[in-house]
Structure 1
Amino acid sequence: MNMRSQWQDKIDADPEHSYRYARRFKDLAASGADIDGEARLIDAMAPRGANILDAGCGAGRIAGYLAARGHHAYGVDIDKVLIEQARADFPDAEFTVGDLADPRFGAYDVIVCAGNVMTFLHPGTRRTVLANFYDQLATGNEHASRVVIGFGANRGYDFQEFLDDAAHTGLQLQAGYSTWELHPFTPESDFLVSVLVRAEDA
């Protein structure tokens, strides 16, 4: 069965897609737009000097922001072009080309998965990716390690289906918001930021 992600399909259909994506955020930053909302939230919830995984890191803006603030930030993305850009722009973070569905080893205080990454995954790999996040959370912390995932509605992954998949892998919703600025989530919300912990740590 073909388990290629939608992002891989986009790259195959348009080889310039990744370059435009990287330029888009540079242009937004140059225009004065706030592109660091996700990273500020993660910085606020993480202990100082935390191990943080930026899952589906793209061109590295979140991991780069966190590394600049003293965290041990690691980014992984399937897109080689974006990883090359991340390494060039944010040398204080560590970046790796990799598939989130592949088994990985780590002990992270926080795992962040922003930018609608979950909706680009092949549906057959979503639970595998969530299970990998569960396995990579650090244990024995004073405060439970967390997975923070944000994505929008109408992208082929229903919010309740996502929460059911997370629960199936042992991740339990600790809090849900409609924005990275922590506005309340309601049934009418078109975006979900979920803060998840291991069920046994809840």
Structure 2
Amino acid sequence: MSRWQELTGGTSGSEYAARFEALVRSGKDVHGEASFCAALVPTGARVLDAGCGTGRVMIRLAELGYDCVGIDLDASMLDVARAQAPQLAWFRTDLADFDPGRLGIAADFDLVVAAGNVFPLLAPGTEATVVERLAAVLAPGGLLVAGFGLDSAHLPVPPTITLPEYDTYCAEAGLTLVDRFATWDAAPYDGGGYAVSVHRTGS
């Protein structure tokens, strides 16, 4: 079982969506992740939202003209995503078992994004496998973008993965670190408790 399932019981979709709706009403920009990704690849590029949740990031990227696919294990989150954007491609699958062929998805994404603490909330011991699965669906020169907390202040669970560990998993999957930031606004990484990492597959 994933740490996310242990934390939420797989029933938090509506509550999660309501939290972001409240942020929007307060005037907060909730599209930092989508804007960050849009700056990395041209409009029309294929994007996989890995751990897409309620679809906030992917729906925005689709609005910006990207060809998007979303995958998540939490049915309650996907219910919200499908209700908000039924025309988009949403699939329920475990990231550790992700097989695009089995889902009828072409495996040539220009960018894979894993936002929202996806990696710290995976099932224990599956982190390297998930990186490998995601790297395998990238087109040559494709990017894996992941943002996650590194300390208790930035996580709903105790810290589970370090940046050196994540970089090792990426290297083993054939990915090279391109850049690292402290926020989705691309602030320079300063060794703090949250990091957004950009890795690239070989050409």
User: Could you list the per-position Cα deviations for residues 139-185 of structure 1 after superposition, in whole angstroms to 9, with x for gaps in the alignment?
Assistant: 2xxxx210100001122211211112211222111111111111111
- Separation in 2 of the partners of 1:103 and 1:93? 18
- Separation in 2 of the partners of 1:16 and 1:57? 15
The correspondence for 1:65, drawn from 50, 60, 65, is 60
Q: Report the equivalent of 1:193.
A: 196
The one-letter code matched in structure 2 to 1:165 is: Y
Q: Report the equivalent of 1:103.
A: 98
Q: Report the equivalent of 1:32.
A: 27
TM-score norm. by structure 2 comes to 0.88
SS of the residue 1:115 aligns to:
coil
Give the superposition deviation at 1:196.
Answer: 0.4
The one-letter code matched in structure 1 to 2:195 is: L
Describe how 1:21-100 pairs up with structure 2 within 5 A.
21-100=16-95
- Separation in 2 of the partners of 1:59 and 1:31? 19
Q: Is the 8 A contact 2:183 2:196 kept in 1?
A: yes
Q: Report the equivalent of 2:172.
A: 168
Q: Is the 8 A contact 1:68 1:92 kept in 2?
A: no
2:7 counterpart of 1:10 = yes
Give the superposition deviation at 1:16.
Answer: 4.7
TM-score norm. by structure 1 comes to 0.89
Q: Is the 8 A contact 2:13 2:79 kept in 1?
A: no
- Cα gap change, 1:117/1:28 in structure 2, threshold over 3 Å: closer, same or farther? same
The correspondence for 2:145, drawn from 120, 143, 148, is 148
Give the superposition deviation at 1:83.
Answer: 0.6
SS of the residue 2:196 aligns to:
strand
The root-mean-square deviation of aligned C-alpha atoms, in Å, is: 1.4
SS of the residue 1:54 aligns to:
strand
SS of the residue 1:22 aligns to:
helix
SS of the residue 1:88 aligns to:
helix
Q: Report the equivalent of 1:124.
A: 125
In structure 1, list runs of 5 or more residues that go unmatched: none
In structure 2, list runs of 5 or more residues that go unmatched: 101-106, 152-158
Give the superposition deviation at 1:67.
Answer: 0.6
- Separation in 2 of the partners of 1:134 and 1:190? 25
- Separation in 1 of the partners of 2:169 and 2:54? 27
Q: Is the 8 A contact 1:67 1:92 kept in 2?
A: no
The one-letter code matched in structure 1 to 2:20 is: F
User: Could you list the per-position Cα deviations for residues 47-85 of structure 1 after superposition, in whole angstroms to 9, with x for gaps in the alignment?
Assistant: 221110010011001110011111111111111111111
Q: How many residues align?
A: 190
